[in-house]
Structure 1
Amino acid sequence: MRSDLTFTAIDFETATGHQNSACAVGIVTVESGVITNEFYSLIQPPRNEYMWQTTRVHGIKPKDTLYSPTFKELFQDIKPLLSNKLMIAHNELFDRNVLRKTMLYYGLVYEELGLPEMWECTYKIYRKKGFKPTRLNACCEVLGIDLNHHEALSDARACAELYLRHPFVESLVEG
């Protein structure tokens, strides 16, 4: 494990096919190579609407988020966890777009978070190392990382573990 890495790993689950429909978030803070904080919350998506396809993936239903905060209500709690951080996600484009589009939906300004245009992506890192498949659960299985897949905090924690280990994982591609 690297003791010099400081970053934030994040994972969202969505309620529908729309990227502004965050229904859960997991955020893991790593300081000097050690997990120092974990945050998880269910989020009430717009109109508390779900698609059966997404519920089948993560198991979250409208009854689970009926009394949960909206993203706008939750934002003040998560803003300090994200602002000006090195961000890591397993599919950074998806999670970055969920954050950006959910903020836009609620009239929040993404640029105020001071995040880089692109984040670090463990999917891309492990694909370059030759992992096939490169899904989060597949990478975790190979490396023996505990995972309750599609539970946002477990996914964020697993992503953090993958990022901490990546410098020490030998390439699986024969050169």
Structure 2
Amino acid sequence: MNTFTAIDFETATGYMDSACAIGIITVENGRITDEYHTLIQPPENIYWNSNIKVHGITPEMTQHSPGFHAIYPDIKERLYGRTVVAHNESFDRTVLKKTMRMYQLDYDELMIAEKWQCTCRIYRSIGFKPATLNACCEKMNIPLNHHEALSDARGCALLYLEYLEKQIMKTSNNS
């Protein structure tokens, strides 16, 4: 249960196949064992100013970065058959699926659940308002450099570990 992979994407435009950064945190038995981050050159290296304002990644920063297809083996290695967690899982899952589709890669070969674990949904269900990643991390005293993909993935992983720990404590108290 406390073995999973947390993931976060940043996008260059409002299109879900425009990944420009990815952060992946691997957790084994409750401990972070691997951190992976890379910038990704989005299609035609096109950015919207509104997205740049959010994450600060510019076309100049990704002009020599690999395309998604080039880093896919690293992503597959970290996701294959794993429980995947994201703070807004529908966003990150859709970015992964649509980007893979654009590069004619088969999402099903990752052998991961159709829906991932979602720390936003989890923390909203236990009463956090707002349940944004930065608000949840602030309330739980988890350091965060918001909209930096690796920091966001790490924050998500630590939030999920906190939640799992509370669930284990609840279960043992009810025994």
Of the three residues 149, 152, 172, the one matched with 1:152 is 149
Of the three residues 3, 6, 16, the one matched with 1:6 is 3
CA drift of 1:78 comes to: 1.5
Instruction: Please give the residue correspondences for 1:123-142 in structure 2 after superposition, counting only pairs within 5 Å.
Output: 123-142=120-139
- Counterpart of 2:173 in structure 1 is none
Give a deviation string over 1:75-117, Cα, whole Å, max 9, x none.
1122110111000000000000000000000110101101101
- Counterpart of 2:117 in structure 1 is 120
Of the three residues 31, 36, 51, the one matched with 2:33 is 36
More helix by share: 2
Cα distance in structure 2, aligned partners of 1:125 and 1:132: 12
Aligned partner of residue 100 in structure 1, secondary structure? helix
Aligned partner of residue 9 in structure 1, secondary structure? strand
- TM value normalised by structure 2: 0.93
Give a deviation string over 1:129-156, Cα, whole Å, max 9, x none.
0000000000001010000000000000
Q: Which moved more, 1:119-128 or 1:77-86?
A: 77-86
Gaps of 5+ in 1: 171-175
- Counterpart of 1:51 in structure 2 is 48
Please give the root-mean-square deviation of Cα atoms over the aligned residues, in Å.
1.2
Q: Aligned letter for 1:99? A: L
Of the three residues 78, 82, 86, the one matched with 2:83 is 86
Of the three residues 101, 104, 113, the one matched with 2:101 is 104
Matched-pair identity in %: 57
- Counterpart of 2:61 in structure 1 is 64
Gaps of 5+ in 2: 170-175
- TM value normalised by structure 1: 0.93
Alignment coverage as a number of residue pairs: 167
